[in-house]
Structure 1
Amino acid sequence: MDSLLCDELLQEIFHRLRPPSHAAVSLVSKRWHRLLRSSTTSLSLYLPPPYDPTTIASLSSFLSQHPFLDNLSIATSPLAVVGDNLLLSVSASCPKLRSLRYLTNPLSPFSLVVISTSCARLSSISIALSRPLSLRWLRFFSGLKCLSLYITNAASELEASGVEEKIDAFDVEFCLENLSLSGIVSEDRGLGLLWRNCKNIRKLHLQSCASLGDYASVSGFVKILKGLRELELRACRSIVDGVLLKVAEHCVSLDSLLIYDGGSQEGLMHFINHSKCNLRRLDLRLPLDLDNTHLIALTENLNFRGLVSLRLESCCLVTGDGLKVLARTVGVKLEELALVNCDVVERESGLLTALGQDLKRLRKLDLSFNETMVDKELTLMLASCSFLIELKLRGCHGLTDKSAASMVRSCENLQIVDITCCGIEMEGVELLVLKSKRLRQLEVESNRLSDTARISASSKYIELVS
């Protein structure tokens, strides 16, 4: 049989296999092992110590056996400072690389310049840098579309705040579309190089940032907002209000906004009232100051009437009245609703029923970690949500097998269900697998899967995620 299959056909088969099957394929024969490596396009590696020249040479030899590799993620021990040596090895062995991720140790500008020359196709890199920041190497990556920078050392380790870069001579327009920064503080100089020259940014992600850089850098921040479509602010409490102020004033293209742990009541209200964006996706997680006034303000801004996705997590000040007003206003178009760990779901009886009647076009519903939510509340809501294709009930301990029966009865289009750490027992899980017509993925603990459910899931090509 092995001799009947040509190399090209085997490689095409290997391309279609899921990664867990690769280990078995490599044991069939030396030929299959060689063809598997030559057809592999993505690798995720962990290199254990020791990190001596032999290890680096072995990595280079291993990577050279994957001539079509275009996506590489490497991790090492955080105590070993070997990032530059690894990067030089990658640059010599992976000329077709398009995506690189290495966050364990900070890399030097020299090694980044080297890989920009050797791997000219690189379009996405996720790397760690140390202070003082130097971003001059960016001008060598002409095709870079996605950039993620993680600052590793503390601001107190900055030597006399670093030497200020003379960046004006290096200004060049970058092609970046996705930009992610983590750990920026007010002492970080030179970020103006990014703000001034990234005019094509579509997605901006800031995480654990206390600033947008030093004063000279901040002044150029508004230049990236013109075409911005997605904004994520995670654990950036000290700058959220300032960023939202600038977005409301200068950005008209924003489509998606995510705020996790940050923002004041006044800052969020100012954005809602003055934003000119036709926002379609709003995700607020741990917004401690969010209350009904914000939800009602959302309904009064005509630019937000096209909202298709609303995700709220741990919103302790929101009540049913605010959610009902919002549902009546945007219910015609809303396709995704998440009320994760929102005690209003458990506190106000009949809320889910009322929401279901106004949100009949829902396709995705996430009610995870509402621990005391009962079957009756969920069942009455699902009766109105016949278009659901995705339902997440992770951590809802108050539910029973009755909820599984209501899913089968009311939601014939369900494709993805998450009932991990949920009160639904083995019989309810089996009912879901046997009776759901379009189910394609089920997340549930393995000890709640009967043999009958496993066999049926396999025959119906349902992916079981434990």
Structure 2
Amino acid sequence: MDTLLCDELLQEIFHRVPPPSSAAVTLVSKRWRRLLRSSTTSLSLHFPLPYNPTAITSFSAFLTQHPFLSSLFISAGGGGGGGSGEDPLLLTIASSCPNLRHLRFLSSPVSYFSLYTLSNSCIHLSSISITISRPLNFHWLPYFNSLKNLSLYFTNPLTETNNPKVKDVGFDVELNLETLSLCGVLPGDHGLSFLWKNCKNVKKLKLKSCESIGDYSSFSDFLFSSNNLQELELRTCRSIIDVVLLNLADTCVSLDSLLIYDGGSKEGLLQFINQSKCNLKKLDLRLPLDLNNSHLLALSENLNFRGLVSLRLQSCCLVSGEGLKSLGRALANVLEELALVNCDVVDKELGLLTDLGQNLKNLRRLDLSYNNMLIDKELVSMLASCCFLVELKLRGCSMLSNATMYSMVRSCKKLERVDISYCGRIEMEGVEFLVLNSPVLRRVDVEQRKLSEVAGKWATSKFIEVVS
């Protein structure tokens, strides 16, 4: 059998083998191992200590057996350089992976020397995620000519010795970054001004666990002069949320997607909603104690937000039906995605879902996950009006039963993806009814024990993916 199949056919078969089974391919024969490695384009590896010469040599030999490797994720146990030292792992990657395009290297801080070497060897790199140490130095960035996506994690604490007074570097370069992600910025990280001055083409900005934005003047200039910024994510950034949102409201009209998780400001968010001139398309908020009805009412009244197509709210404890109903009426003809995940209002306010369903006629995706007290009657009354749904997520709604499955099939003929995992009262019969009677279903998330033999065979014949 092994000799009857040509290399190309074997490689095509290997590409179709699911990840849990692909590791066994290398055990069949040396030929199969060679062919699998020579056709592999993506690897995820953990490299533990110690980084002795023997381990590094073996690592280099392993990488050279993957000549078409384009994506590499390395998690390691420390031992990198930082500053001006050398990173044996990163230097090995630089010398062994000339075709690399995506690198995620999450170990100890990388050295700047290794980054220069990497830029010379891997000229096609378009995406990098790395940890760097203070003092911050970004002079290596212009050497990555193909770089589009950059994620930086700052790890060591800020001290007087690693945070010297930073002067203007005296030169400007036009970086072609489209996505910039920063994690762990602290007050006094003025070296970030290099990024704010030279990243005018950024379309997506992500800030996580940041207590500062470095040089505030440079950041304001960045928002003012950047006409390309379309997406902004702020995660656990309570101390900078006001200054960021107020700058956005005053300067940024190109923004169409905003995400704020775990750290907001009631006043700052309200002022942004009232004053913003951007035409938001997507809004994603997880603000348990910082979002209330006044924000939702302001959203419904600002004409600039009448083009909102996606609204996601998670763990919003202070929101009531009044705010959601007003927003539903304002966005009746445009909203395509609604998520109310773990929101008390879904359980407490009877008739809310019915009202939303009757108003949001164009709804395509609905996520009501982790509303533990949501009952069939409330959901069924909403689904009766949601005939265009293609995706429905009900994960963790433990009070729902088979009655929801019957209503789903009866009302939502266009459903392609359904998540009913951890819905304790939905039984095998309900899952089987869904699989057998949904004409365009392509994926269902459900526990394996709830999938009957008949449903399993039917799912296979209809090419329905079952995820347990």
- Per the TM superposition, whether the score is higher than 0.5 is yes
Matched, 1:228 2:229: yes
- Aligned-partner SS, 2:107: strand
CA contact (8 A) 1:196 1:224 kept: no
1:208 aligns with 2:202: no
2:69 counterpart of 1:69: yes
Q: Give the C-alpha shift of residue 39 in structure 1.
A: 1.0
Is 1:195–1:223's contact at 8 Å kept on the other side of the alignment? no
**Which residue does the alignment assign to 1:429?**
431
What is the distance in 2 between the residues matched to 1:161 and 1:93?
A: 33
Deviation string 1:324-378 (CA, Å, 9 cap, x unpaired) is 1111111111100001111111111011011100112111100011100100001
Bigger mean CA offset, 451-460 vs 192-201: 451-460
What is the letter of the counterpart of residue 125 of structure 2? L
Q: Distance in 2 between matches of 1:166 and 1:293?
A: 44
String of CA shifts for 1:3-55, please: whole Å, max 9, x gaps: 44433333344344443342243333322221111111111111233331111
3-state DSSP of counterpart to 1:105: coil
Does the CA-based 8 Å contact 2:309-2:337 persist in structure 1? Answer: yes
Corresponding residue to 1:444 among 443, 446, 456: 446
Q: In the alignment, what sits opposite 2:151?
A: 148
**Number of the residue aligned with 1:197:** 198
2:133 corresponds in structure 1 to 130
What TM-score do the two structures reach when normalised by structure 2?
0.94
1:346 touches 1:373 (CA, 8 Å); kept in 2? yes
Distance 1:441 1:120 in 2: 39
| Superposed CA offset, 1:301-323 (max 9, x none) | 11111110000111122111111
The answer for unaligned runs of 5 or more in structure 1 is: none
Cα distance change of structure 1 residues 191 and 366 upon mapping to structure 2, 3 Å threshold: same
Measure, in 1, the Cα distance between the counterparts of 2:196 and 2:97.
31
**In 1, Cα distance between the equivalents of 2:184 and 2:151?**
11
Q: 1:81 offset after TM fit, Å?
A: 4.1
Deviates more, 1:205-214 or 1:440-449: 440-449
CA distance in 1, matches of 2:452, 2:77: 40
Superposition deviation, residue 99 in structure 1: 0.4
| Residue equivalent to 2:113 | 110
Give the corresponding residue for 2:175. 174
3-state secondary structure, aligned to 2:260:
strand
Shift of 1:249: 0.9
**2:266: which partner in 1?**
265
Pairing 1:362–2:366 present: no
Q: Distance in 2 between matches of 1:267 and 1:236?
A: 13
Give 1:135's aligned amino acid.
F
The change in CA–CA distance for 1:177 and 1:275 in structure 2 (over 3 A counts) is: same
User: RMSD between aligned alpha carbons?
Assistant: 1.8
Among residues 75, 93, 98, which one is paired with 1:95 in the alignment? Answer: 98
**Structure 1 CA distance, aligned partners of 2:219 and 2:412?**
50
Structure 2 unaligned regions, length at least 5: none
Cross-structure match for 2:87: 84
Structure 1 pair 426–271 and aligned structure 2 pair: CA distance change class (3 A)? same
**Residue 436 of structure 1, CA deviation:** 1.9
Letter in 1 for 2:466: L
Kept after mapping to 2: 8 A contact 1:104/1:128: yes
Is residue 39 from structure 1 mapped to residue 47 from structure 2 by the alignment? no
Greater mean deviation of Cα atoms: 212-221 or 332-341 = 212-221
What code does the residue aligned with 2:291 have?
A: L
Q: Structure 1 residue 131: deviation in Å? A: 1.6
Q: Which amino acid aligns with 2:33?
A: H
Q: Which amino acid aligns with 1:343?
A: D
1:279 aligned counterpart, secondary structure? coil
- Residue 287 of structure 1 deviates from its aligned partner by 4.7
The answer to whether the 8 Å contact 1:161/1:187 transfers is no
SS of 2:87's equivalent in the other structure is helix
Q: Tell me the alpha carbon deviations over residues 386-442 of structure 1, each in whole angstroms, 9 at most, x when there is no partner.
A: 111111111111111111111111112111111122131222222222222222222
Q: Is contact 2:46–2:76 with CA below 8 Å preserved after alignment?
A: yes
The residue that corresponds to 2:23 in the other structure is: 23
Is the CA contact 1:99–1:122 (under 8 Å) kept in the aligned structure 2? Answer: yes
SS of residue in 2 equivalent to 1:239: helix
Take 1:229 and 1:219, find their aligned partners in 2: how far apart are those partners? 16
**Alpha-carbon distance change, 328 to 159 in structure 1, aligned in 2, over 3 angstroms:** same
- Preserved CA contact (<8 Å) 1:164 1:190: no
Provide the TM-score with structure 1 as the length reference.
Answer: 0.95
8 Å contact kept, 1:225–1:250: no
Aligned to 2:464: 462
Identity of aligned residues (%): 63
| 2-structure distance, mates of 1:429, 1:76 | 42
Q: Check conservation: 2:185, 2:210, Cα contact below 8 A.
A: yes
Query: Displacement, 1:288?
Result: 1.8
Match of 1:59 in 2: 59
What is the CA deviation profile of residues 278-314 of structure 1, one whole-angstrom value per residue up to 9, with x for unaligned ones?
A: 1110111125222222112112211111110000111
